[in-house]
Structure 1
Amino acid sequence: MKTAKMICECECAVQEDKARDTATRLFAKDATLWSENAETQAKILNRLGWLDAPEAMLSLAPQVIEVVDRVRAAGFTTAVLLGMGGSSLCPEVMSKVFGTAKDYLKLMVLDSTAPESVAAIDNAVELEKTLFIPASKSGSTIETNVMYAYYYDRLLKAGVENPGRHFVAITDPGSSMEKLAAEKSFLHCFLNPPQIGGRFSALSLFGLFPMALLGINIEEMLMRVNEVSSQSSEFVRNAMSLGLRLGTAAQKGRNKLTFQMSPKLKPLGDWIEQLVAESTGKNGKGILPVVGEKNGAQSDDRIYVQMSVGTEATPECCGCTKSPRIEIKLDDLLDIGCEFYRWELMTAAMGVALEENPFDEPNVTESKQNTMALLNSYSEKGELPLPEFCGKFGELIRVSPTAALHDAVAAKEGVAPACPLGLAEALRMLTSTVNTGDYVTLSAFVAPTAERLVALQSIRGALGVKTGCPTTLGIGPRFLHSTGQLHKGGPNQGVYLVIATVANAATDLTIPGYPYSFGTLCLAQGLGDFSSLDRHGRRAMLLLVDDVDKALAYIADSLK
């Protein structure tokens, strides 16, 4: 594992003695690093278990491996992780990076409530040989719970004897998931240390059990992390220094952290994106990770991160030779464990420089509450309350701007936009409000098929060309537990194109024991996100679509 280095530091230089002092206080679990409020400090102290996780988990690794051996002996060939955000991103990254070792389990991750995503899992697995892993720190995560209900019912209807034996849960002690695991006689229930928060849980049981199912040598990975994780190590001081520099630069307006990854490491960007965005995006401040952008325009608000592994070439830094950039080179793929720890340390240090608590996520909770309010209304009235629409494109797409977008257009053009709006007009209205220092986000509450991801990336690229701004792509509902926090709590520099889908009765799926379907839940999450953006004065345009694939084609054509 090589030390990361920053090139062309510019305004993000920081004194090394400050990095050493921050490391000392961090490992002493001094919550005053982030807050002077006693109540906030107490909450922070209950979220610092990740610091000790490498050592603590090394002692638990034999237990994890023993459960994996039981799973393999029971004849399971596929595992499906049912989770969201911090419970699902690390396993997904490791599955994409490592694949499956011989005689171990194929790992699939279900972190979408779109009916097509659930159906895709149905079609891909042999139910009798599939292990399901409901993963939720609180045990109350709505996505995890409805997925569990759906697959437990499927096992029952398939005549599987003792369906609970097809489940291994990962949760905190005392959660409702732990109780459920006991009631239904799950094959096993891992109880994770409660002092570890979701997005900081990669090197805990939430990450390690799925890794071990893939056949990854978790003991070797943890030993590598332990070798570099002491307070006085160069690795830790380096991470503190980089995190402080990034936070300091963000305070001065350079807050777009743009990732350029070598091929094998590309999936890792999604995990870093969640960690940084959800941790820093609050109180009008934050750092926006830009992941998976192709040929983005150079701008003075960017810092670049180039990551490569082994003999893979460092990605070409497109036009960033004069911009600050961080170079990180891994010796081999098992060093990803050290990268998890490095970025957790860096993110904690970013919070110090930004003078904010990186361990809470207030606007993620807000979005969950919005969704539940919409679902409660649906339960009472049989339909979801929709926003007022300002136009439509045939019978396919309905458009609705936030009040802030409407006002921004009126201020810029001297006249309020007239309704009804066509699709091209709606998109022009959105992009016309972009200013220097802004970014554009495409948020799509759709099943992320390979074809749709290509179409969405094409739309993202067109938005970047049209505006000259950094762009991001979020797939709902997963991004609600990631960049969604920064969208509402971070600086008001984003413009948002939100695509939500009306459920198709022919392809929708019911959820046993719940008064709504997967399609209704997914739409409620999209509407709840848009409502939050509206409430926080964000410039956003909602496109409510009936046929996703046709709609994406029309959107792309309208941006030409």
Structure 2
Amino acid sequence: MIKLNYENVDEKLVGQENGLNIEQCFDEYKDRIEEIITDLNKRKDKAGQWLQWMNLGYREDTLWLVKEYAAIVKDRFENVLVLGIGGSALGGIAMSEALLKPYWNILSSQQRENYPRIFFLDNIDPDQISMLLETLNLEKTLVNVITKSGTTAETMSQYMIVAKILEDKLGDNYRRNIVVTTDKEVGLLRQIANQEGYKTFVIPDDVGGRFSVFSAVGLLPLALVGIDIDEIINGIKDMDLALKNTDIRHNIAAQNALIHYLADTRKNKKIVVMMPYSSRLRYVADWFVQLWAESLGKNVDNNGVRREFGTTPIKSLGVTDQHSQIQLYNEGPNDKIINFIRVEEFDKTVEIPHVFEYTGIGYLGGKTINSLINAEADATKVALTDFKRPNLTISIPKVDAYNVAQLLYMLEVETAIAGELYNINTFNQPGVEQAKNYTYALMGRAGYEDSSRMLKEKLATV
């Protein structure tokens, strides 16, 4: 099971100015935490609460359908191409990078056990899109289009480009190369999928994009490349059971949510760093950045009081960013709380041979890279603590389907609890919509003519 070590956030180690009296805080908030956890679990089955992500581990129908389809198409395609953006891509990227063999896409078919390569187009950079589509054999590529509304400009523009190429190459048979993940009944992509006869999977109601990784949004791409989604579901279920505990002293998501909330509101720690000491987990930090920022960055509370909420998440990677960011974290503004993710057992052990006896490097001979990365993680957290910089460590036993699923689900619940502590709507994102609407106007979408004229006037002056 995943563990949380928060001792380096305590005022005994980082001082009263920067740290918390953890035990006192737990006592102070134990009733509020119990209330929040109880309330979230009561509301999760109610429509309109946007908490259906808490039930995704129990959707046996989705699991069965995804596994059945993945088995049917296993030997038909050399590549899987996922078209999506934000929550429609980041979860799949984080999980696939963590759970596939490193350098998956350059391994031989035999090394991949005949499973396809996987590519995510989560941006609309024209150079990237052109090069990828020129490189892939699209006739041997299964394209998974993911958008709930079907009006996401980025994803739908990609879809139209790819669908046209496929149709030109394959004629009517091109439909076999497209699978759609979208709303079960409404939306433009659902309409197109029904019209074209595409295979479809459902994004459940009341599941926002950034909380959708354990729906078909994430499970389908993972199953297509041979990842054990049964173990993902087992991990979610076990973590969900653990996080139903209303006692803050036995609920790591509640502990971390409260620590981050109080570090912000009492100690002015406005930046949250997520720093895994594992290259395979580096994209978990990217996924977390969206989860935390989009959920908690709000300007009004649930009582209608206008105030700015949220802390800024930063992605980092150990040990790489010890050589770029740690100088700032140790000696720059003391406005951060750092989350380390530590892997207790790596899949491989790599020994460092005795090659040289020079004083500066000879000591490394006979040691392992495993011990070196853990020593650097330990040294970094102790140094940060010496500089009175609050930090905590999330320990994951192994990087496997069961444990990575637990990690992501724990971070989802932590975010939901933090939103309740701030008394905000964790599940909307009105700040995203304005730029979306401006994009529609600039691209000539019907109904946005007035905005288009206004924007062109503004752009002419800047």
* TM bucket, shorter chain: 0.7 to 0.9
Give the Cα–Cα distance (whole angstroms) in 1 for the partners of residues 264 and 152 of structure 2: 32
Superposition RMSD in Å? 2.7
* SS in structure 2 at match of 1:162: helix
Shift of 1:30: 7.8
Q: Is the 8 A contact 2:180 2:193 kept in 1?
A: yes
Per the TM alignment, residue 324 of structure 1 is displaced from its structure 2 partner at its CA by 2.0
From 273, 286, 291, give the equivalent of 1:258: 273
The amino acid of 2:149's aligned partner reads S
Aligned counterparts of 2:422 and 2:247: Cα–Cα separation in 1 = 23
Q: Where does 1:92-111 land on structure 2 (aligned, <5 Å)?
A: 92-99=93-100, 100=104, 101-111=112-122
Q: How does 1:234-383 map to 2 (within 5 A)?
A: 237-252=251-266, 253-262=268-277, 263-283=279-299, 284-292=308-316, 294-296=324-326, 297-298=328-329, 299-309=333-343, 310-311=345-346, 313-314=373-374, 315=377, 317=380, 319-321=383-385, 322-333=388-399, 334=401, 335-376=403-444
Quick one: distance in 1 between partners of 2:238 and 2:275? 27
Checking the alignment, whether the CA contact within 8 Å between 2:62 and 2:215 is kept in structure 1 is: no
Q: How many angstroms apart in 1 are the aligned matches of 2:384 and 2:131?
A: 40
Deviations 1:412-458 (A, max 9, x none): xxxxxxxxxxxxxxxxxxxxxxxxxxxxxxxxxxxxxxxxxxxxxxx
Deviations 1:67-86 (A, max 9, x none): 0112224x111011111100
Query: For residue 115 of structure 1, what is the aligned residue in structure 2?
Result: 126
Q: CA deviation at 1:137?
A: 1.8
Larger fraction in helix: 2
Which residue of 39, 50, 58 maps to 1:25?
39
The 1:317–1:59 alpha-carbon spacing in structure 2 relative to 1, beyond 3 Å, is farther
CA distance in 2, matches of 1:376, 1:138: 19
> Cα offset for 1:209?
0.6
Aligned mates of 2:122, 2:70 — CA distance in 1: 22
| Secondary structure at the counterpart of residue 384 of structure 2 | coil
Alpha-carbon distance in structure 2 between the residues aligned to 1:388 and 1:326: 45
Question: In structure 1, what is the Cα distance between the partners aligned to 2:231 and 2:134?
Answer: 35
TM-score of the aligned structures, taking structure 2 as reference length: 0.75
| Cα distance between partner residues in 2 of 1:141 and 1:218 | 27
CA contact (8 A) 2:47 2:206 kept: no
Query: 2:181 is matched by which residue type in structure 1?
Result: I
> Which residue identity lines up with residue 325 of structure 1 in the other structure?
N
Deviations 1:28-56 (A, max 9, x none): 1289xxxxxxxxx974x1x1001111122
Give the residue type in structure 1 aligned to 2:335: D
Of residues 154, 158, 164 in structure 1, which corresponds to 2:169? 158
State the AA in 2 paired with 1:170.
Answer: T
The Cα of 1:248 is off from its aligned counterpart by 2.4
Question: How has the CA–CA distance of structure 1 residues 320 and 389 changed in structure 2, closer, same or farther, with 3 Å as cutoff?
Answer: farther
2:235 equivalent in structure 1? 224
* Residues 12 and 245, structure 1, Cα contact 8 Å, conserved in 2: no
Q: Kindly, what percent of the aligned residue pairs are identical?
A: 26
Cα distance in structure 2, aligned partners of 1:308 and 1:291: 15
Following superposition of structure 1 onto structure 2, how do residues 508-523 of structure 1 map, counting pairs within 5 Å?
Answer: none
Q: Which whole-Å CA distance do the structure 2 matches of 1:374 and 1:388 have between them?
A: 11
Relative contact order, CA 8 A, sep 6+: which one is greater? 2
| 1:301, distance to aligned residue in structure 2 (A) | 1.2
SS in structure 1 of the partner of residue 181 of structure 2: strand
Structure 2, unpaired ranges of 5+: 11-18, 105-111, 300-307, 347-369
CA distance in 2, matches of 1:140, 1:372: 10
Output the amino acid matched with 1:295. Answer: Q
In the superposition, relative to structure 1, how do residues 331 and 190 fare at CA in structure 2: closer, same or farther (>3 Å)?
same
1:184 paired to 2:187? no
Give the C-alpha shift of residue 3 in structure 1.
2.0
- Contact 1:265–1:308 (CA under 8 A) maintained in structure 2: no
Q: 1:366 to 1:12 in 2, by over 3 A?
A: farther
Contact 1:172 1:193 in 2 (8 A): yes
Report if aligned partners of 2:34, 2:247 keep a CA contact under 8 Å in 1: no
Report the counterpart of residue 58 of structure 2 in structure 1: 55
**Cα distance between partner residues in 2 of 1:330 and 1:290:** 20
Of 186, 207, 210, the match for 1:196: 207
Per-residue Cα deviation, 1:293-328 (whole angstroms, up to 9, x for no partner): 632412321000000222454435365212222211
Unaligned 5+ runs, structure 1: 32-40, 391-399, 401-560
How far apart are the structure 2 equivalents of 1:182 and 1:385?
A: 37
Contact 1:254 1:303 in 2 (8 A): yes
Q: Compute the displacement of 1:178 (Å).
A: 1.9
Change (3 A) 1:66 1:363: same
Deviates more, 1:353-362 or 1:97-106: 97-106
Q: Report the more deviating stretch, 98-107 or 263-272.
A: 98-107
Change (3 A) 1:377 1:224: closer
Structure 1 residue 128, shift from structure 2 partner: 0.6
Paired letter, 1:193: P
Is the CA contact (8 Å cut-off) linking 2:222 and 2:229 kept in structure 1? yes
Aligned residue type for 2:232:
M
Provide the secondary structure at the position in 1 that maps to 2:325: coil
- Equivalent position amino acid for 1:256 in 2: I
